């Protein structure tokens, strides 16, 4: 309910344009964070709580399309607008296939960009964006900020990783959370070892919930996990 506020991540290496954008959008009451290359942007994205992205297509370290692909794995619904100097059709198609919501050719008009952002965000469904800081899981209370799991006043302290994994399961309670999504969002990469690591944490979490049998973390082979409670 409180998260109806736009929180935009911008990835743009031309800092002149970048700062201009930041200033303009902030003047309109929008939260903005600027990153100057693809990798920084992705790390920023993992850490932050963004609900909108604007990516330059050409970026150092990782180009806008690759960045979009990874971001879409973590949050498939997040809207992305691409900025590009070129007006190539192939580029546009590529962007749309990845799931671009819009495409703007530089130089562009700031007001028009704002209009496009608004047009898209008006359709946004913020409803399940955040499940609050504290999440009820069966008889447990999970506080992500405090890394704590409270069971009848008995407080179990979680490690960062444990909390991160549990948070992802919590956000989509009773829904399948894909392995790929968790791995990309938390480990940043989706390889064998990260995968095994995730399994270890799932195993740990299950133990923590052992005292309330209504809480289970179920596996869907080859797909992911579901937190049921």
Partner DNA sequence: AACGTGTTGTTAATGCGATGTTAAAATGAA
Partner DNA sequence: TTCATTTTAACATCGCATTAACAACACGTT
**What phi and psi, each to the nearest 5 degrees, are found at residue 118?**
-65, -45
For residue 81, give the 3-state DSSP assignment: strand
Tokens of 82: 């691409």
Residues 95-134 that bind its own copies (CB under 8 A): 96-97, 99-102, 109, 111-112, 115-116, 118-120, 122-125, 127, 129, 131
For residue 122, give the 3-state DSSP assignment: coil
H-helix or E-strand spanning residue 110: helix 110-121
Residues 151-170 that bind its own copies (CB under 8 A): 157, 159-160
Are 189 and 204 in contact by the 8 Å Cβ rule? The answer is: no
**Among DNA, its own copies, none, what does residue 195 contact (CB within 5–8 Å per kind)?**
DNA
Contact positions vs DNA (CB under 7 A): 157, 159-162, 179, 187, 193-197, 199-204, 206-207, 219-223
Tell me, residue by residue from 13 to 32, as one string, x for binding to its own copies by CB under 8 A and - for no binding: --------------------
- Apex 32 CA angle, 31 and 36, nearest 5: 170
Cα–Cα dist 166/171, whole Å: 9
Cα–Cα dist 180/52, whole Å: 21
Tell me, residue by residue from 78 to 97, as one string, x for binding to its own copies by CB under 8 A and - for no binding: -x---------x--xx--xx
Strand 52-56 relative to strand 31-35: parallel, antiparallel, unpaired? unpaired
**Among its own copies, DNA, none, what does residue 129 contact (CB within 5–8 Å per kind)?**
its own copies
> By C-beta, is 35 or 178 nearer to its own copies?
178
> By C-beta, is 56 or 164 nearer to DNA?
164
Tokens of 81: 């607008």
Residue ranges that bind its own copies, judged by CB under 8 A: 77, 79, 89, 92-93, 96-97, 99-102, 109, 111-112, 115-116, 118-120, 122-125, 127, 129, 131, 145-147, 157, 159-160, 175-176, 218, 220-223, 226
């Amino acid at each position: 309910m409180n998260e109806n506020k736009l929180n935009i991540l911008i990835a743009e290496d031309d800092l002149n344009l970048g700062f201009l954008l930041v200033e303009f959008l902030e003047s309109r009451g929008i939260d903005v964070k600027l990153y100057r290359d693809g990798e920084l942007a992705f790390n920023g994205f993992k850490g932050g709580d963004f609900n909108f992205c604007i990516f330059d297509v050409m970026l150092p370290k990782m180009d806008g399309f690759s960045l979009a692909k990874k971001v879409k794995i973590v949050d498939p619904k997040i809207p992305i607008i691409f900025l590009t100097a070129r007006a190539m059709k192939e580029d546009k198609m590529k962007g749309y296939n990845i799931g671009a919501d819009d495409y703007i050719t530089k130089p562009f008009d700031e007001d028009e960009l704002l209009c496009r952002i608004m047009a898209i965000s008006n359709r946004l469904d913020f409803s399940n964006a955040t499940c609050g800081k504290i999440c009820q899981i069966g008889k447990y209370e999970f506080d992500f900020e405090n890394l704590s799991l409270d069971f009848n006043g008995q407080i179990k302290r979680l490690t960062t990783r444990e909390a991160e994994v549990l948070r992802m399961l919590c956000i989509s309670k009773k829904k399948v959370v894909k392995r790929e999504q968790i791995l990309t969002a938390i480990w940043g990469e989706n390889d064998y070892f990260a995968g095994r690591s995730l399994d270890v944490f799932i195993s740990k979490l299950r133990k923590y919930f052992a005292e309330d049998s209504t809480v289970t973390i179920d596996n869907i082979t080859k797909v992911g996990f579901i937190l049921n409670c």
